[in-house]
Amino acid sequence: MTATATTPPVRLGIVGAGIMGERMLGAILDGEPGGPALPAGIWDPSADALDRIAARFPDVPRLADRDAVVAACDCLYVASPPASHLGHARAALAAGRTVFCEKPLAVDGPDARAFVREAGGRGAVNFPFASSLGVETLRGWIEAGAIGRPVSLAIAVAFATWPRGWQADAARWLDAPEQGGFTREVVSHFLFLAGRVLGPLADLDGRATFPEAGRSERALAATLTAGGVPVTLAGGVGTTDRDDANSWTLEGETGAVRLRDWAIAERRRPDGTWETAPDAIPNERARPIALRRQLAGVARLTRGEPHHLATLEEALAVQEVVEALLAG
């Protein structure tokens, strides 16, 4: 939605000047003028991170602290490490702001459940599959009957190294078991998609493997259900030479569809080969489009209107599965 005289852009404040904070600013400022949001300001405890933001976005206010960002915004985007999410989110809610939070919602289950009760409908979580063009194609095929009744789902992720090369600056927490690991960072997206498309997540059986003391998991194997549909989940580090490989494959009674490499929707031909959607684009091009569509949802959330973003309840359901896997 384009902002108009009657729907002015929401002022989005950002806490966290890492990769996601920078990407969100890019989604706001690199698109066409008149979008649904404007940057109210950004803060990060790292001066180096703020200097990087200043080099790319010199006109974005770099504010003194979290409270200054909250005071300047209509909605607070929390893009800091996971253990800090709820503290920032609660400060925003206490000031009458809405909250758009990075995943995972939190790493502490009881605190996350309490927060969801406190927040009501004033928050959402950034699972971009809610706005993905590839997912939209996939769901269109499913709803048109391309696979018949769903019978099984397979989720697979693989990484050459963890953290991925482009995340090296955040390795201190991304490769620590308290907040990091690929299950929280990547698998959570595909679990959200399973819940959004098929239904509630349940019947979990599986665990992550931690072979190196003080570091995040290196393998994951589990089964669960989504809306009663059996799901298999597998992940590993050092199992591919690619930076990041993933697939979400839904089998039905009469066909199959999948999302691979974050953005590419495909359906299986009768001969067993896969047909890529003619309008599919790689994730490097699809990601900023999804983020701009997410921002339109943030504007609706902030105005108290219905939106398509991941709800706090959906994010909590994903978090609980993820943390159960990591706890073994």
**10-127+288-310 domain in CATH 3.40.50.720?**
yes
> Rounded distance, CA 235 to CA 245, Å?
10
Q: How confident is the model at residue 4 (pLDDT cuts 50, 70, 90)?
A: very low
Nearest to 112 by CA among 313, 328, 249: 313
Nearest to 314 by CA among 175, 125, 171, 145: 125
| pLDDT greater than 60 at residue 34 | yes
pTM of this structure: 0.96
Pinpoint the alpha helices (H) of 130-242: 133-143, 171-174, 182, 188-198
Q: pLDDT, tens digit, for every residue of 65-99?
A: 999 999 999 999 999 999 999 999 999 999 999 99
Residue with token string 């839904």: 250
> Rounded distance, CA 53 to CA 42, Å?
9
The whole-number average pLDDT for the span 163-172 is 91
**Amino acid type, 185:** E
Residue with token string 């990769």: 19
- The answer to whether 259 touches 265, Cβ cutoff 8 Å, is yes
Tell me which DSSP letter residue 8 carries.
P
What residue spans define the domains of the chain?
A: 10-127+288-310, 130-282+317-327
- E strands, the chain, where? 10-15, 37-43, 75-78, 98-101, 123-125, 150-159, 201-209, 219-226, 229-237, 245-252, 256-260, 264-268, 274-276, 310-311
Q: How confident is the model at residue 31 (pLDDT cuts 50, 70, 90)?
A: confident
Query: Alpha-carbon Rg of the chain, whole angstroms?
Result: 19
Q: How many CB atoms lie within 10 A of CB 113?
A: 15
CATH of domain 130-282+317-327: 3.30.360.10
| pLDDT greater than 80 at residue 166 | yes
Which of helix, strand or coil describes residue 198?
A: helix
**H or E segment to which residue 178 belongs:** none
Q: pLDDT, tens digit, for every residue of 185-218?
A: 999 999 999 999 999 999 999 999 999 999 999 9
Q: pLDDT, tens digit, for every residue of 109-144?
A: 999 999 999 999 999 999 999 999 999 999 999 999
Which of helix, strand or coil describes residue 27?
A: helix
**Amino acid type, 93:** L
Nearest to 258 by CA among 240, 271, 272: 272
| pLDDT greater than 50 at residue 41 | yes
- The answer to whether 49 touches 81, Cβ cutoff 8 Å, is no
Please state whether beta strands 10-15 and 75-78 pair in parallel, antiparallel, or not at all (unpaired): parallel
Residue with token string 């003391």: 213
Q: Encoding tokens for residue 182?
A: 């690929």
The residues facing 209 across adjacent strands are: 219
> Rounded distance, CA 85 to CA 125, Å?
11
Predicted pLDDT at 33:
78
133-143 vs 188-198: helix axis angle to the nearest 10?
Answer: 30
